[in-house]
């Protein structure tokens, strides 16, 4: 699966603040946006990685609007 990971992403920071979390990952398209975690830390957590990769798959299957409103 082709995807990118971006650290210190504003969108993930906003979601983390809104939800009260220290760490956050947000998927948009084929990119995983992180806040409060490095790429290395994220990749070492196989459960978290699998979870976000599933979101990438869902985003591809449903498209932007259906994915966003199905969460």
27-51 residue pLDDT tens: 999 999 999 999 999 999 999 999 9
Burial of 31 (0-12, 13-18, 19+ CB in 10 A): middle
Phi, psi of 41 (to 5 degrees): -65, -45
- The domain tally of the chain equals 1
pLDDT at 41: 97
Tell me the pLDDT of the chain averaged across its residues. 95
pLDDT at 44: 98
Burial (CB < 10 A; 0-12, 13-18, 19+), residue 2, is exposed
pTM of the predicted structure, to 2 decimals: 0.91
Domain range for 39: 4-70
């Amino acid at each position: 699966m082709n995807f990118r990971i971006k650290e210190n992403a504003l969108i993930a920071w906003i979601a983390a603040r809104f939800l009260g979390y220290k760490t956050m990952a947000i998927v948009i398209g084929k990119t995983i946006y992180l806040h409060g975690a490095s790429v290395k830390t994220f990749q070492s957590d196989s459960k978290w990685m699998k979870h976000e990769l599933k979101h990438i798959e869902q985003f591809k299957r449903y498209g932007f609007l259906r994915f966003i409103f199905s969460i």
